[in-house]
Amino acid sequence: MKKLYTVAVLGATGAVGQEMMSILEERNFPVGKLIPLASARSAGKKLMFKGEEVTIQEACDEAFAGVDIVLGAAENDIAQKFAPAIVAAGAVFVDNSSAFRMDPKVPLVVPEVNPEDVKWHNGIISNPNCSTIITVTAVNALNKLSPIKSMVASTYQAVSGAGAGGPIELMSEVEALAKGETYEPKVFPYQIAYNLIPQIGGEAFEGYTSEEMKMQNEGRKIMHLPELKVTCTCIRVPVVRSHSISVTCRFDRHVTVEEVREMIAQAPGCKLVDDLASKQYPMPLETSGQDIVYVGRIRPDLTDDNAIALWCCGDQVRKGAATNCIQIAELLVK
How far apart, in whole angstroms, are the C-alpha atoms of residue 2 and residue 39?
30
Q: Could you tell me which residues come within 8 angstroms of residue 52 by beta carbon, excluding any fewer than 6 positions away? A: none
**Catalytic site residue from 121, 130, 232, 270:** 130
User: How remote is the C-alpha of 85 from its chain's centroid?
Assistant: 25
246 burial (CB, 10 Å; 0-12 / 13-18 / 19+) is middle
Query: In this structure, what DSSP letter does residue 6 have?
Result: E
**Catalytic site residue from 121, 232, 234, 243:** 243
How far apart, in whole angstroms, are the C-alpha atoms of residue 291 and residue 318?
6
Select from 66, 232, 262 the least CA-distant residue to 156.
232
Whether residue 243 lies in the annotated active site: yes
Q: Could you tell me which residues come within 8 angstroms of residue 308 by beta carbon, excluding any fewer than 6 positions away? A: 142, 248, 249, 251, 255, 257, 260, 298, 299, 300, 301
Distance spanning both ends of the chain, measured CA to CA: 8
111 burial (CB, 10 Å; 0-12 / 13-18 / 19+) is buried
Catalytic residues: 130, 243
